[in-house]
Structure 1
Amino acid sequence: MSTEEDVIGEPGPSGEISVAAPYPVEWEADVVLRDGTTAHVRPIRPEDRDALQRFHRGQSERSTYLRFFVAMEQLSARDLTRFTVLDHRDRVALVGVTSTPDGDDEIIGVARFDRIGPGEAEVAFNVSDSYQGRGVGSVLLEHVAAAAREVGIQRFTAEVLPQNGKMIAVFREAGYDMSQHVDDGIVTVSMHLDPTDRSRQVMADREHRAEARSMHGLFSPRSVVLVASVRGTADAHEARLAVRALAGGLEVTGGAQLQVVGLTAVAVRDALDTHGTLDTFDRYDTLDEVPGPIDLAVVTVRAQDSVTAVRELARLGVRGVVVLGSGYAETGDEGLALQRELVRTAHAAGMRIVGPGSYGLFAARSDGSFNASLADRRPLGGVVGLFCQSAPIAVTILATVRRRGLGLSSFLSAGNRADVSGNDLMQFWHDDDATSVVGLYLESIGNPRKFSRIARRLGQVKPVIVVTAGRSGHIVPPGHAVRTTRAPRRTLEEVFRQSGVIHAENTHQMIDIIQLLAHQPLPSGRRVGIVASSAPLAAIVAEAAGAAGMVVTGAAGIVAEDAADEEIVRTVDDVYADGACDVVVAVHVPVLGDHDERFSRAVATAAARTSRPTVVSILGLHGFVPELSTVAPDGAVVNVPAYSTAEDAVLALGAVVMYAAWRSRDHGRGLVYPDVDVAGARALVEKHGDGEVETDVARDLLRCYGIETWPSVPVADADAAVAAANELGWPVVLKSTAESLRHRADLGGVRLDLADEKELRTAFDQMRLSLAEHLPAALRTSATPLEVQRMAPAGVACVVRSTEDVLYGPVVSFGLSGDAVDLLGDVSYGVPPLTTTDVAQMVRSVRAAPRLFGYKGLPAADAAAIEDLIGRVSQMADDLPELRSLELYPVVVAEHGGAVLSARLTLGAANRKDGLRRTLPD
């Protein structure tokens, strides 16, 4: 309970107060609540006085007593000023708001803190009675804790009445380190705000449940309204999409009622004549006439009318809006502003937006199918969940799926992806029993860090196959409001690798892989057996399998065109013998005549009997065909996928083999360093601001993360060099500090292992003269910049870097120093947070890695030491979004331990997309 009594300013005639402190707009965010609805979180403002009073009066007597410890029918003018006029540093308050039917903000919860000492603040919460149990308190705690950390608060305390069990549970279940004690009938709760593994997991779990619930509502509505116009009868532009949606078979789950607004009876009748699956519908001229409640709205109105439509839909309790039309961000700045206003309006009213520019969505579920798409023909029901962005790509993907006979559990086209994204769909599919394989076509990734977290979690239970518009993820199509990345083009590949995502080259290959995963078990290994209609075909398959990372076992089974039935079965069964292989590739291309059904039948029967993952390439067969479908001994139907070419089949199989290996391996544990001083690091960051920091500051900041840098001393003459060596300890290194010569022993920029004063003086004089010709004219002076450092034990020189990217956040890299990094780009990347396995993979994935592990008989370097260093840099970069860049170069890794010989560190304003709070796209 807050005890702050200071008042900043006095209300004017209107009751509003101007505040000198800048409004922290970066604390604003849209969120998804536990029931799948949305709300807006923002700092409280002086103009919220009336809304706060309404919120207070709407609370029950019990809720008011639990918050203030006394009965208060209304807040006094002094209280309203104290609660709404804040400095956003020592006194902070966030409110959760939704919009009223009139468009005004309605406060549904308040979280505030008042600084009571260095690094400590008293916190208090109050959640609307009508919203309790919907996760408002936990969301507000996450957001107010993030704000507190930004202003230097490390600990919250709160005084709570013992009977306020809900609020005590919010604190306890947040996952922070917490303690509590009872004194004089009051429970005092104290919690550290440093994130813990448990607090991160709690946030991820809550985010997952809320977003999955939100998507479940989109795919299983019991009532749908099609809005073609907000002005009465739709014009030609508005009616075109609406009629297409009807003609395509707009369908409500369980055959419930459909409401149509703005279309004439003739237009509706003509649409139903084209596709007569709709038995019941009600037609209205305006939204005002439609009775509620309505779960989902399909909107085809003109872009300039969409915000009005969403405001009117709020009255009906709509949970989701599918915007099929165009005219938004893809048209330029005005369209982008309109798109953002549309999303803000929807979120404030508790709705999710699919689109704009969406092709729609549909689902085939056990409780009835649902369709709100423009597709005139839908694929069969199945186990595959598909997500794509643009409508044209949706058309081609759905046509491919239908042609191959692949079944879908659900499909969604996000269009401009202004709100609902692939991340939301992955959250939903994780728990969806109807979906066992996930495919995504991504034209852009708005939040790669969140994508990585969700995909890694989903990939451990269901395969995720992704196609991107360009392999690097640097393409940003019109209409996609995405930050522009400067990260290396390989960064996205590393995100996918860490997450277990299968990255397909194109939509054709994505469907190739999906059709294998949808109907075949995961491989138990990478040994491949081959059965073919000729030896040359078998050789081609063997070569392709080796290139895809598989191992060919034994001789291929060759089935001649004129082979007898018994010989075909025997040859196929030999390939499928127990222990002979883990997967099978079957290829049959007859020289004369059509494909041999005996071959198809023998392969399908053996695959079903042994549960051995199998792919085939048989002339004339593609996708799922009756010739390759049979019944397993347990009664299950087994479908063996057919591919146009043997190479396609092998590429798909190789991708699945790699995924199965990733899924079965140990993914390591989260990196935890008990000696890390996050609070000390944050204090240094706040004190030293922007730009490259001085050496001493960099050393102190790195020391907060357990990283010790070896000291070096700049020297202007030989006497100073000798004095420095005596101070640091012999032997020493003499090196240039000039940027062009740092670490360049080949240019004479480094002299190693100088054991005494004579050697050092000689080296100093020689370097000062010889380096002058390599330096720019401005540096060609008698005082050539040199420095002295103690000689590190012999080892392998490495470089560890971290860069804060506006899209990816922190990107950590590792390589062996020298030309391998500078010229050949032999660098591995990781996007924090990393696991122990991720770090070990980074060290071992560079091509020069053998030098660390006893190359040509040399002693093996201490791999654990460099892994520990990379892990600490990863943690530091993850904790400090202000860390714009960090370079540790060189890091000499010896047989035992490692030495960080130089560090360069630059700070800047935090601008990270994904932080420690749940938010929707901004």
Structure 2
Amino acid sequence: MQDARERYPAGWEADVVLQDGSTTRVRPIRPSDAEALQAFHVAQSERSTYLRFFAHLERLPERDLHRLVTVDHVDRVALVATTDADEPPGYRIIGVARFDRIGDDEAEVAFNVADAHQGRGVGSVLLEHLAAAARERGVRRFVAEVLPQNGRMIAVFRDAGYEVRQHSEDGVVSLAFDIDPTDRSLAVVADREHRAEARSMRAVLGARSVLVVGPALPGAPPPRALHLGMARAAHAHLTAGDARVRVQAVGLGLEPGDSSSDDVLAPVPAVGGDPFAASFASVVGPVDLAVLAVPAQAAPAVVRALAPLGVRGVVLMSAGFAEEGEAGLARQRAVLAAAHGAGMRVVGPSSYGLLTTGEHGTLNASLAAELPRAGRVGLFCQSAALAVPLLAGVRRRGLGLAEFVSAGHRADVSGNDLMQFWADDDGTDVVGLYLESIGNPRKFSRVARRLAQVKPVVVLTAGRSGQVVPPGHAVRATTAPARAVDELMRQSGAIRVDNTHQLLDVAQLLAHQPLPAGRRVSVLASSSSVAALVAEAAAAAGLVVAGAQVLPEDAEVDEARERVVAALRDPDADVAIVVRIPTVGGPDVGLASLVAHEAAASGRTVVACVHGLSGVTPELTAPDPAGTLRTVPAYTTPEDAALALGHAARYAAWRARDHGRPLHPAGIDLRAARRLVDARLATDAEVPLDARSAAELLAAAGVAVLPSAGVRDADEAVAAAAATGYPVALKTTAPALRHRADLGGVRLDVADEAELRADVEQVLALAAEHAPEPGAPPLEVQAMAPRGSSCVVRSLEDPLYGPVISVGLSGDASDLLGDVAYGIPPLTDVDVADLVRSPRAAPRLFGYRGLPPLDVAALEDVVARVAVLSDAVPEIRHLELNPVVVGERGATVLAARVTLARAHRADARRRLPG
């Protein structure tokens, strides 16, 4: 631990969102914080000081002050929450939390939050971070002594979801609680995170006072035409919108007579001091949102100068940040530090802007001159370039939009933040995301799953692998398989599509039609050949064709009505596809109206491909029995219609199913596992465990590894077999032949000494041509496991995804054909069941070709334990159980390999950006 005592733990620094949607910085205390800590203490009320120190101290004595700011970051840890301030030292402490170790795994904890910042959730945030730091240092229990009248602090502990034990003695309440995460404490953190991030987005999207800042500012570099164009366009679009939004602008490079709007303010020349602060002297505050199109070099100073105006959010349209290397990344970090220090969120850089429509009015803080109509679809797009065709596609289809946000390089505000907002937004029914990168997949999974349970989430990623990282995106590299992102989306309930066309296809269906009740589809087409093609497309999209009918072009009105009613009310179908492609004339408006009215009346999910109609059209719109207008979305091709309907049916099935419960296998001792890992990594950065240590680690998770004995020759093999009892298995440890019975590297059911000696000679001769595993004896002798199917269970700690669990059947199915299923913890019991059943070879576990069904529940138990262990201990770099023999009763682990390495998981549950 000596290194930790000497090293400032920069990894504990975090920008976080508070309960009111503003931001603060949480970091370890430093000796240089003495002045700020004294100022914090002096500003506290007499009551607050008394509750913290059990005595009134007007000032902290120098000796105590030195002790409070000097910690070792191991046994004595203190965190502070800060905001920026004009007076020295340039920041203000608004909260302090600390612990002092009083035992091997126990520490005394204390908090103090500034009177002026009570009720903002500062104490809860500090407790979350302090508990995380404590667990990292091996502390598992907090104790505290609190005065009875300090109900607020007692509530912080209880509201955090911990099981708090308390007793009173001599007028003091003694509290104690374990800080290992529980389902309740994790739910509390997720709920706090959700409310805070949703509120921060609500402040940005609901802005009613906007300031546009252009590049023509005193003290800034000469303005570029691009920046001037952006600023002037954003200003024009804002002023052309809702009159209830107050718009002001500075730095547009216009003479007073050049603008017809009196909200274009002339920058005030600086006379000493901050030139940008002088530029904003005539701005009337408070300002909710600032739209910036300024040179990247000036952006940090401009953001700092905005702080006195009470700005809650910044849209940064300029480029020139992380995409330009280390210097640009430093500028980006400086912008974030200035914004978060003043409580602001940042959309961008390289943002196309944001816009909102609907009952609360229109806010067009974007570069889009032409807006889609108001509606109930929320869109998030990282790329500014892709925002142009995406918005054009929305307008072309007549699809109504509620909100649109372009996050550019996603330095701060991310898709996760918008999903948090949309989960509570009554004005949004469907969410669409275009993601160029996923900076925090574990948080994405958590937030998307919560949202998808109430609203559809349609996701397009840059590249099928989801691992394309454009310049400017600060994302960790990943070694996870490309299919990991598929599993991430599947677990989350997100609908993954391949392009923007499909994204809007699915969105328009889900926004205007009820969710499908099932996968059975009825097809109505204008010819038998078209009906056959549509049926084929429907089957390819995962639908089950219940029936196909033909509606001739020359059908009379009564016949057409009869055919439409029969197709849309088919008792054997759940959904319907109507295709009308006349060979003569234009759109069949009469049929479109008939389909619209019958679809609305039936309550079925219906899609159409009607020549001449596209998107959301009045011809395919009709009221349902409750009077709500329903539109049958029109598609360009039957294949598009079928694909969108297939996506919607799978989402509806996911939403309707039981998603399971968190995993809590009996008999897991994560603390024992943690102690073993810490001991092995005390001196080495990476450690491959020997067989005994690997078995000990897995035993802490309740996974037993069948013992084996390493042997070098026939005599040692015979002795090991005698101790084990015949029959035995003999295996080579040469990696090329390990687990390969087909190549002779494994001999099973060795019945006696003579057979064993012969097998030892043959296996040694076979393995002589292959390099042995370093440090291992050439052979192993092991008791025979019950017969069954061999599986392989692995866990890989990925720098971006965290643990990635994989399951497959051993041998060529997984090694050669890649028939492996992936899961990303934390998993539920349902996730584990899906994981085991997902490989194409999985039927071998369920009574394949007359064989008896195997104990799949035992395999699920092993997978669940590996998932929980890997999720709790990120230092498990790689874990492999191979083979796991699943018999008719039980599952036996025959071999385990584990590599440990120091880790810093990117699951920034409490950090920004996320």
TM-based fold match above 0.5: yes
1:128-527 pair list within 5 angstroms:
128-229=114-215, 230-231=217-218, 235-237=223-225, 238-250=227-239, 255-266=244-255, 269-270=258-259, 284-285=267-268, 286-527=279-520
Q: Match of 2:39?
A: 54
Deviation at 1:232, TM superposition (A): 7.3
Distance 1:257 1:192 in 2: 51
**Secondary structure of 1:553's aligned partner:** strand
Distance 1:770 1:332 in 2: 53
**Secondary structure of 2:131's aligned partner:** helix
Deviation at 1:227, TM superposition (A): 1.1
Compared with structure 1, are the counterparts of its residues 718 and 893 closer, same or farther at alpha carbon in structure 2 (3 Å cutoff)? Answer: same
Q: Match of 2:276?
A: none
| Contact map agreement 1:526 1:582 (CA 8 A) in 2 | yes
Q: Match of 1:703?
A: 699
Compared with structure 1, are the counterparts of its residues 583 and 58 closer, same or farther at alpha carbon in structure 2 (3 Å cutoff)? Answer: same
Deviation at 1:333, TM superposition (A): 2.0
- Over the matched positions of the two proteins, sequence identity in percent amounts to 57
Q: Give the TM-score normalised by the residue count of structure 1.
A: 0.95
1:409-450 Cα distance to aligned partner (Å, 9 max, x none): 101000111000000000000000000100000111100110
1:689-838 pair list within 5 angstroms:
689=681, 690-772=686-768, 774-776=769-771, 785-838=778-831
Q: Give the TM-score normalised by the residue count of structure 2.
A: 0.95
| Contact map agreement 2:207 2:245 (CA 8 A) in 1 | no
| Contact map agreement 1:797 1:890 (CA 8 A) in 2 | yes
Q: Match of 2:86?
A: 101
| Contact map agreement 2:526 2:581 (CA 8 A) in 1 | yes
Compared with structure 1, are the counterparts of its residues 251 and 59 closer, same or farther at alpha carbon in structure 2 (3 Å cutoff)? Answer: farther
Q: Match of 1:12?
A: none
Letter in 1 for 2:680: H
Distance 1:232 1:114 in 2: 49
Deviation at 1:779, TM superposition (A): 9.2
1:695-729 Cα distance to aligned partner (Å, 9 max, x none): 21111111111011111101122221122122223
Deviation at 1:279, TM superposition (A): 8.8
| Contact map agreement 2:5 2:74 (CA 8 A) in 1 | no
| Contact map agreement 2:614 2:636 (CA 8 A) in 1 | yes
1:178-229 Cα distance to aligned partner (Å, 9 max, x none): 2111111111111111110111111000000000000000011121111114
1:72-97 Cα distance to aligned partner (Å, 9 max, x none): 10101111111011111010000001
- Pair 1:855 & 2:841 matched: no
| Contact map agreement 1:232 1:262 (CA 8 A) in 2 | no
Compared with structure 1, are the counterparts of its residues 391 and 19 closer, same or farther at alpha carbon in structure 2 (3 Å cutoff)? Answer: closer
Distance 1:563 1:182 in 2: 86
Letter in 2 for 1:679: R
1:585-624 pair list within 5 angstroms:
585-624=577-616
Distance 2:232 2:378 in 1: 27
Distance 1:709 1:105 in 2: 55
| Contact map agreement 1:259 1:284 (CA 8 A) in 2 | no
| Contact map agreement 2:235 2:249 (CA 8 A) in 1 | no
Q: Match of 2:575?
A: 583
Distance 1:418 1:69 in 2: 43
Letter in 2 for 1:226: V
1:117-147 Cα distance to aligned partner (Å, 9 max, x none): 1111000000011111000001000101011
Alignment RMSD: 2.0
**Secondary structure of 1:828's aligned partner:** strand
Distance 1:254 1:647 in 2: 44
| Contact map agreement 1:258 1:282 (CA 8 A) in 2 | no
| Contact map agreement 1:321 1:354 (CA 8 A) in 2 | yes
| Contact map agreement 1:597 1:627 (CA 8 A) in 2 | yes
Q: Match of 2:110?
A: 124
Deviation at 1:236, TM superposition (A): 4.6
Q: Match of 1:15?
A: none
5+ residue gaps, structure 2, are 269-278
Deviation at 1:660, TM superposition (A): 0.4
Distance 1:468 1:768 in 2: 51
| Contact map agreement 1:436 1:518 (CA 8 A) in 2 | yes
| Contact map agreement 1:260 1:284 (CA 8 A) in 2 | no
| Contact map agreement 2:458 2:497 (CA 8 A) in 1 | yes
Q: Match of 2:658?
A: 666
5+ residue gaps, structure 1, are 1-7, 9-17, 273-277
| Contact map agreement 1:732 1:791 (CA 8 A) in 2 | yes
Distance 1:43 1:314 in 2: 24
Distance 2:47 2:855 in 1: 63
Distance 1:779 1:619 in 2: 67
Distance 2:189 2:246 in 1: 38
1:271-319 Cα distance to aligned partner (Å, 9 max, x none): x6xxxxx796666541123232211111111111101101100111111
| Contact map agreement 1:568 1:598 (CA 8 A) in 2 | no
Compared with structure 1, are the counterparts of its residues 79 and 619 closer, same or farther at alpha carbon in structure 2 (3 Å cutoff)? Answer: same
Q: Match of 1:82?
A: 67
Distance 2:187 2:666 in 1: 18
**Secondary structure of 2:98's aligned partner:** strand
Distance 1:619 1:22 in 2: 69
Distance 1:780 1:853 in 2: 38
- Pair 1:880 & 2:896 matched: no
Tell me how many residue pairs correspond in the alignment: 895
Letter in 2 for 1:896: R
1:365-420 Cα distance to aligned partner (Å, 9 max, x none): 32222121110011011000000011110001000000100001101000111000
1:565-595 Cα distance to aligned partner (Å, 9 max, x none): 1111111011122624211100011112222
Compared with structure 1, are the counterparts of its residues 888 and 268 closer, same or farther at alpha carbon in structure 2 (3 Å cutoff)? Answer: farther
- Pair 1:540 & 2:533 matched: yes
Letter in 1 for 2:603: S
Distance 2:600 2:264 in 1: 46
Distance 2:159 2:461 in 1: 38
Letter in 2 for 1:775: H
| Contact map agreement 1:250 1:372 (CA 8 A) in 2 | no
| Contact map agreement 2:600 2:622 (CA 8 A) in 1 | yes
**Secondary structure of 1:117's aligned partner:** coil
Deviation at 1:265, TM superposition (A): 5.0
Distance 2:36 2:715 in 1: 74
Distance 1:749 1:842 in 2: 30
| Contact map agreement 1:221 1:252 (CA 8 A) in 2 | no
**Secondary structure of 2:370's aligned partner:** coil
Q: Match of 2:275?
A: none
